[in-house]
Structure 1
Amino acid sequence: MMLTGKQKRFLRAQAHQIKPIFQVGKSGVNENMTKQIAEALEARELIKVSVLQNCLQDRNEVAKEIEKDTNANIVQVIGSTIVLYKTSVNNPTSELPQ
């Protein structure tokens, strides 16, 4: 599902007060991390991932890799922070604007 501009704005506002719960460091994105991120997305729908300075990959590449591996949507990449959204399969909570 592609997010519309309106939905992305809505999610950015929601994400404003959230703290990053994952950090991508020197080793980059691995299978275990994407599994944990997928579980967190299922539980919360909207999360932030922080890309540390020692990460060898570009933050946009990191975002695309996580997006591909978790089937999430990139809401925003700002500074070293990636905001991701995925509708929960079992417990959808966010009501997105149309």
Structure 2
Amino acid sequence: MKAVRSLLALDFDKKGEFQDIVDLASKLCDKPVALITLLDKTKNWMKVRSGINIEAMPSKTSFCQHAVQQDSLMIVCDASQDASSTAMNW
């Protein structure tokens, strides 16, 4: 958690390399939303994003919270139909 807190303090450049990576991921995967997120005990911080303007959400309603609890790869093809997203308003 100490490492996450130190990263949360950083101001990621919205026009820098991380944004380029997120934009490329969105384009390559042909998906409208791509994110680089940090998860702490209470929130999912969307530090670099494409296609969404939400900066943070409660960790209990984020995909990241579900993903870190998995022992295997988590793939969500359609968030509006995924059982793990029932607490979210899509």
Work out whether the TM-score is over 0.5.
no
Larger of the two Rg values belongs to structure: 2
Q: Structure 2 length normalisation: TM-score?
A: 0.33
